[in-house]
Chain A
Amino acid sequence: MEIKTDTINSLKLNKNTPIIQAKNVDVFYGYKQALDNISLDIPENKVTSLIGPSGCGKSTFLRCINRMNDLVSICRVTGEIKIFNQDIYAQEVDVVALRANVGMVFQKPNPFPKSIYENVAYGPKIHRLSSNKSDMDELVEWSLRKAGLWEEVKDRLNEVGTGLSGGQQQRLCIARAIAVKPRVILMDEPCSALDPIATAIIEELIDELRNNFSIIIVTHSMQQAARVSQRTAFFHMGNLVESGKTKNIFTSPKDERTQNYITGRIG
């Protein structure tokens, strides 16, 4: 299926070049420092999980990657974040173009109070990704299939998205995010409002999606991080304590704080 792509989508990276490179990132909320000198590389087409106790800054870091922090007026970000080797905090960057390439799924499912079809079609519509109705239909179906929701909703695309169950709503939000074909998907505790069955479905979905997208997921559940991610970064009190392969972090952490967190002594 042919879909128009933004320039960034045609960019290829050398193998082993990280898709996101964060260097010396500091974030301040007013006078309070939320992140202290974070440097982290995120590999392409893998799932990276950010773990750590509440208030450690993992969500703040996630929101730096698509500049959602811009919405908070007192928030100030310094340092450098590069996606495809391009500085996303540079003067000339248009956040609209950035967010079209870095999708986001939020903690609480937040579908638009519109039909299921319109929910998925909204992104392609505002970014003018499809020129006609049949293209759009195809794109909506593709997105819903990718999100594992197509079979459940194909007969009621015109019903409101908010009428679905919590797990379905979250998958609808994922479908909505991937409809614009971003390269990176940010997930901010996507399963925290869902029951274990819906969570299992979403985790399975994340595992499939990593073939097409690079995923960064913030999670409170260490089991989830262990199940879905290939890489893990552990945050503590605004610092990046340790990052590496998920297996290594969970079996042989180098730092004592990581050790304490994964064994449940802090957090």
Chain B
Amino acid sequence: MTNMFTNTSLLRKSRAAAELRFRWFGRIAIGISLAFLFIMVGSIINKGKSVLISSDIAIIIDLGPNQVDPNNINQTGFDALIKRSLRATFPEITSRSDKKKLYGLLSADMGFELQKQIIANPNLLGISQKLWFTASDDVDLLLKGSVDLTTQEGDRRISNLEINWIAKLKKSGNTRSHFNKKFFMNGDSREPELAGILSALVGSILTLSVCFFVSFPIAILAAIYLEEFAPKNKISSFIEVNINNLAAVPSIVFGLLGLALLLNVFGLPRSTPLVGGLVLSLMTLPTIIIAARASLRSVSPSIREAALGMGASPIQATFHHVVPLALPGILTGTIVGMAQALGETAPLLMIGMVAFIADVPSSIIEPATALPVQIFLWADASERAFLEKTSAAIMVLLVFLILMNLLAILLRKKFEKRF
């Protein structure tokens, strides 16, 4: 006898098939999105990972008293000294254009680097010895194997001649690679081998701090008032509609507002984290308000009734019972808003944070740039070596974002446990 509960009827079969189909559609959708995520992150990491390594070149430099005056170090022509030493390393080079290429093997900062090394260690003076210098961006790429040597010479930024010199240096042990501290310790630079992310990172942190301290209190108070205290009438629903609309306004419009109002009317300092943070907080406010209101609304009304029924005043009911329960959601909403602000470029362009800033800002009223703007600037630069910098900057931005989300999860866990 057949089991009477088996799937035999056509209806049951098609129902089961529909369910199976739907499950597979869901799995395929997740698979596609995961694949795109992996392709994106993978290609960024692949392009950006080489930034972690930078290359040096060693040359023998005569620091004898007739080259450098020990009593008056800063008067020395360090660039010329290095150039002389380079020529001594490759005595066969005679033509002017080749000499220029030869000098280009080292970073444009070579003179400073020598000066710094001597000041840090005066014992170097007086003798002739081997010293290390940062290689220029093209040499760095070559040493890291990022240059395709099969292409025509004219299609490369580095000529066969230079490749031979580097090969010779490499053979004699005069090149080395090491962890690229400069990328994390320097500000932006015109020279890719010297450019670093620190000024943009600090700029982003300062900008976000301003954004947080302005938007969080205002948004939370507005949300609590609108949700718990405001009378439900035409005015409050008008405000609600407008807050929702504000959240959908393109961010560049906020940038224009910041430009017109904060810079031109109030005369706040241009390109500073202060103005950037204020503009971003305009953008973040509606996001936090909406998230906080949703979170407050999701607190069971029975808790409010219980507190009010005890004789708690509305403000006691709100702050003793409703807000603590809504806090995890409020914090998550806040961090989502902040993460959005972190990735925002357009409004910062409008208020001048796109300027070339080499110094690390130390206060909110100093000119600064931000991570997404830095990515934009580097992506736009012509030097090939900025390509890896761009990817690396994106990685830094992503790590920052992941850390912020981690914080959101931790805060959520912490406040949920209390109840």
By a beta-carbon cutoff of 8 Å, the part of chain A in contact with chain B is 66, 68, 71, 73, 96-100, 103-104, 106, 108, 110-114, 122-123, 126-127, 160, 173, 176-177, 180
Contacts and interface: CB of A to CB of B under 8 A. Distances in A.
A122 B310 contact: yes
A66 to B, nearest CB: 7
A173 B311 contact: no
Interface in B279-331: 300, 302-313, 316, 320-321, 325
A99 B308 contact: yes
Contact of A173 (B232, B306, B316): B306
A68 B313 contact: no
A114 B306 contact: no
Given A106-B305, A110-B302, A110-B305, A97 B311 contact: yes
Given A73-B231, A112-B321, A99 B303 contact: no
B311 A123 contact: yes
B419 interface: yes
Given A73-B231, A126-B316, A106 B309 contact: yes
Contacts of A113: 303, 325, 419
B308 A180 contact: no
Contacts of A99: 308-311
Given A73-B231, A113-B325, A160 B419 contact: yes
A126 B310 contact: yes
Nearest to A109: B302
Given A73-B232, A113-B325, A180 B302 contact: no
Given A97-B311, A176-B306, 20 more contacts: A66-B309, A68-B308, A71-B304, A96-B313, A99-B308, A99-B310, A99-B311, A104-B309, A106-B305, A106-B306, A110-B302, A110-B303, A113-B303, A113-B325, A114-B419, A126-B310, A127-B311, A176-B310, A177-B309, A177-B310
B231 A123 contact: no
Contacts of B232: 73
B306 A100 contact: no
Contacts of B419: 113-114, 160
Tell which of B300, B303, B305 has the most Cβ of chain A within 10 Å.
B305
Contact of B312 (A108, A126, A173): A126
B210 to A, nearest CB: 35
Nearest to B299: A113
A68 B305 contact: yes
Contacts of A173: 306
Contacts of A104: 309
Contacts of B313: 96
Contacts of A126: 310-312, 316, 320
Enumerate the 9 nearest inter-chain pairs by beta-carbon distance, A residue then B residue, closest first.
A100-B311, A99-B311, A110-B302, A104-B309, A113-B419, A110-B306, A123-B310, A96-B311, A96-B313
A114 B309 CA distance: 17
A96 B302 contact: no
17 contacts: A68-B309, A71-B304, A71-B305, A73-B231, A99-B308, A103-B309, A103-B310, A104-B309, A106-B305, A110-B303, A110-B305, A112-B303, A113-B419, A126-B320, A176-B310, A177-B309, A180-B311
B186 to A, nearest CB: 51
Contacts of B307: 112, 122
Tell which of B231, B232, B313 has the most Cβ of chain A within 10 Å.
B313
B408 to A, nearest CB: 21
Contacts of B306: 106, 110-112, 173, 176
A244 B309 CA distance: 28
A160 B300 CA distance: 17
Interface in B221-247: 231-232
A104 B307 CA distance: 10
Contacts of B304: 71
Given A110-B302, A113-B419, A71 B308 contact: yes
A144 B302 CA distance: 21
B272 to A, nearest CB: 44
Interface string B376-419: 00000000000000000000000000000000000000000001
Contacts of B309: 66, 68, 99, 103-104, 106, 177
A171 to B, nearest CB: 14
A4 to B, nearest CB: 15
Nearest to A176: B310
Contacts of A180: 310-311
Contacts of A106: 302, 305-306, 309
A60 to B, nearest CB: 15
